[in-house]
Amino acid sequence: MATPKGKYAWTATVGEKGQIVIPKQARDLFNIKPGDTLLILGDEERGIAIPNGGAFSKLFSTVFTEESGGEEQ
């Protein structure tokens, strides 16, 4: 079965302290560096998602700009 372009899947093992290691290929692909903060979203029916940080930066920028009448503070 061919993998759709731009789609990936990896596995990670949860350690005794509840920590996971993000696979190197994923860290390289998404430019995740030591000290970066990741947002983890959870849905009991759909699972866990770790969205690209840029997606939320754009959303937050839009929300805060609109709240201030279109002007950034």
> What are the tokens at 41?
């979203």
Instruction: Show me where the domains of the chain are located.
Output: 32-67
Residue 2: the pLDDT is: 79
Residue 69: the pLDDT is: 56
Q: Is the pLDDT of residue 23 over 90?
A: yes
Q: How far apart are the C-alpha atoms of 62 and 72, rounded to whole Å?
A: 10
- Asked if residue 59 lies in contact with residue 71, where contact means CB atoms within 8 angstroms, the answer is no
- Look up the pTM and report it: 0.64
Mean pLDDT score, 26-35: 91
Contacting residues for 56 by C-beta, under 8 A, at least 6 apart: 39
Binned at pLDDT 50, 70 and 90, residue 60 comes out as: confident
Binned at pLDDT 50, 70 and 90, residue 46 comes out as: very high
Given phi > 0 = left and psi -120 to 50 = alpha, else beta, which region is 35? left
